[in-house]
Amino acid sequence: MLQIFRRYLLMLIVRPLARLMFGLDVIGAENLPKDGPAIIAANHNSHVDTVVLLCLFPSRLLPKLRPVAAADHFDKGGFGSWFSRNIIGIIPIKRSGAERGEDVLAGAKEALARGEILVIFPEGSRGAPEEMTKFKGGVARLAESAPEAPIVPVYLQGAGRSLPKDAKLLVPFNTTAVVGKALYWRGDYRALVDELRAKIEALKAEAPPLRWK
Amino acid sequence: MRIEGNLLTCWSHGCGIDVHLPLMLGFAGVLALLLLGTLAALILPRAQPGKWSDLGPRMRSWWVIALLVGGALLAGWQAFTILMAVISFLALKEFLTLAPTRKEDRLIVLLAYLTIIVNYGLIFTDTLFQDSYNIYLVFTPVYAFLVMAATMAWIGRTDGFLSTVGIVHWGVVVCVYNIGYIAFLMRTPDAEAPAGAAGLVFFLLLITQLNDVAQYCWGKAIGRNKITPNVSPNKTWEGDRRLADDGRRVLFPRALLHPAFAGARGDHGAYRAAGRIFWRHYDERDQTRSWREGYIAPHPRPWRGARSAR
């Protein structure tokens, strides 16, 4: 029931609104996975990023799309927590304060095992608008747990202008998502993270020029 | 269906739509052109592979434009004004996305979007108070101009003041204020326009779009020397000359237009707006061109063209 509600909410309200507000231009849509399990890895500048990524997929895949999000931000209890978990469909991840020996990625690994599509932001935080920071290693550990899952690099541009970190006003600007060819787990954590970062940097060069200071 | 004078009344499900006969003929003509174009898009790429590859996507966007605009024209001025407001919003967003802006300018950009509400709101209030059109005339060029600059000063943004204020206001005038005149034309009283207000708008859009189509066809057929190779590579002097000398004079003689607009009696705002648009459009060919580029034609994103050219 809730899944049907979520699907139609995203399809009939969120997607048309997002199209109107953010344009949702896509380059390389054919590189998006047709089914799970898969990992979508993108740069992160804004809460709008998640909306843009959810709107890239056909509504048939919506029940499988699971954004991986910081528990300290989105899972603080109350209505916000219910909304994030059930409507956005997040998998909460503890960024700090985990106990020794606790696998913070357990939830995400289970989702991959169920054949779901994870949406993750390897930077781990939004940071300054339209700038990319260091990638964290969690994406490689997830890839190791599901070596058959393609890791699809996506470069998102423009969302950091619409709603940067700490901003209170949402200002419409067009966003562009550049989707690259998938890469796979090959047995080396560092190499995977570096390759992913290089791929997203390369996609950035394909995006339309952004005159933003 | 009932015909009275040049007014065609269609009855369906108990509610009637009045359509002027010339407008109906115009719609039929556009439909015929669209069908012809669709046929050409099916045949020509096979006859001369490569040369007509962009005709198919062009035909698709023309179908969408024709259905949206035609539907809004039939639905009345309210629907048409809302359609134009949405087009203004999309155009302004595209403009501000491509134009150089800074993160500190977000508030000013938001104000620019708010002008769309006031601008089109003034078209809705045209019959409520008499000065609505006069306020429309000065709101964007004067008040939006001043308020946006003053806001920059209030929030203390003195760095890059001129570039921000200049770019944003320029975008508002092009994307909101000017497009708004097309919607204002829909408020012309029926008694003042031979084919109704919708007929005036239809005529304006038709000559603008035909200009584009004719440029495309003549340019492909006999065009050699490009007018502005860096801006719009499909426009050629040959296409323009042919269009100006033959097409427009035969199709739209000034004598036909004159009685409609030169005899301006009323002081009605929309009526004067009509005169402004038509004479500007008719007399200044260059302006017509920039008009079309900026407002109605579904041009691909400029950066995309640049990339594929590389």
Locate the chain B residue with the closest alpha carbon to A159: B97
- Considering only CB atoms, which chain A residues are within 8 Å of B99? 211
Q: Which residues of B touch A (CB under 8 A)?
A: 86, 89-90, 93-94, 96-103, 106-107, 109-110, 113, 301, 303-304
Q: Over range A100-119, report the average pLDDT.
A: 82
DSSP state of A208: P
User: What pTM value is reported for the model?
Assistant: 0.78
- Considering only CB atoms, which chain B residues are within 8 Å of A173? 93, 96-97, 109
pLDDT of residue B272: 52
Phi/psi of residue B97, nearest 5 degrees: -70, -40
Phi/psi of residue B212, nearest 5 degrees: -65, -45
pLDDT of residue B246: 55
- DSSP line for A119-160: EE-TT-S--STT---PPPTHHHHHHHH-TTS-EEEEEEESHH
pLDDT of residue B258: 41
Sheet holding B7-12, edge to edge: B2-4, B7-12, B15-20
pLDDT of residue B104: 80
- The alpha helices in B1-76, defined as continuous H runs, are 21-47, 55-75
Whole-angstrom CA distances from A44 to A30, A130, B100, B288 are: 22, 8, 22, 43
Whole-angstrom CA distances from B190 to B11, B193, B271 are: 20, 6, 10
Question: Does the structure show a pLDDT above 60 at A192?
Answer: yes
- Measured over the CA atoms of residue B58, residue B60, residue B63 and residue B68, the dihedral's sign is negative
CB contact under 8 A, A169 and B107: yes
Give the start-to-end residue ranges of the domains of chain A.
2-206
**Residue B226's beta-bridge partner residues?**
B236
CB contact under 8 A, B303 and A209: yes
pLDDT of residue B141: 93
Of B86, B103, B113, the CB nearest to A164: B103
Helix (H, G, I), strand (E, B), or coil: what is residue B60?
helix
Residue of A44, A60, A55 whose CA lies nearest to A19: A55
Residues 6+ apart with CB under 8 A from A109: A103, A142, A145, A146
CB contact under 8 A, B93 and A167: no
Predicted ipTM > 0.90? no
Whole-angstrom CA distances from B180 to A156, B62, B121, B176, B229 are: 33, 21, 10, 6, 30
pLDDT of residue B244: 60
* CA–CA separation, A82 and A84 (whole Å): 6
- Measured over the CA atoms of residue B231, residue B232, residue B237 and residue B242, the dihedral's sign is negative
Residue whose tokens read 């809004």: B72
Backbone conformation region of residue A71, classed left if phi is above 0, alpha if psi is from -120 to 50, else beta: alpha
Residue whose tokens read 């219910």: A82
pLDDT of residue A212: 65
CB contact under 8 A, B100 and A158: no
pLDDT tens digits for range A135-181: 877 888 888 888 888 999 999 988 888 888 878 888 999 999 999 99
Q: Over range A101-128, report the average pLDDT.
A: 82
Locate the chain A residue with the closest alpha carbon to B99: A211
Of B99, B110, B113, the CB nearest to A211: B99
Q: Can you give the pLDDT of all 310 residues of chain B as single tens digits?
A: 566 666 666 554 445 566 778 888 888 989 998 999 999 888 888 888 777 778 888 899 989 999 999 999 988 899 999 999 999 999 999 999 888 888 788 889 999 999 999 999 999 998 888 888 889 999 999 999 999 999 999 988 888 889 889 999 999 999 999 999 999 999 888 778 778 888 889 989 888 888 877 777 777 777 777 777 777 776 777 766 665 655 555 555 444 444 444 333 444 455 455 544 444 443 333 334 433 344 333 333 344 434 343 3
Choose from A24, A161, A175 for mutation: most chain B CBs within 10 A: A161
- Considering only CB atoms, which chain A residues are within 8 Å of B109? 171, 173
Question: Quick one: angle between helices B161-172 and B145-154, nearest 10?
Answer: 150
CB contact under 8 A, B106 and A171: yes
CB contact under 8 A, B303 and A208: yes
Mention the CATH class of domain A2-206: alpha beta
* CA–CA separation, A15 and A51 (whole Å): 8
Whole-angstrom CA distances from A122 to A111, A130, A151, A193, B90 are: 17, 15, 12, 9, 32
Record the tokens describing residue B253, joined without a space. 């003689």
Burial class of residue B146, CB neighbours in 10 A (0-12, 13-18, 19+): exposed
Helix (H, G, I), strand (E, B), or coil: what is residue B54?
coil
* CA–CA separation, A183 and A163 (whole Å): 30
pLDDT of residue B5: 63
**A–B CB contacts, 8 A cutoff, strictly below:** 47
Helix (H, G, I), strand (E, B), or coil: what is residue A180?
coil
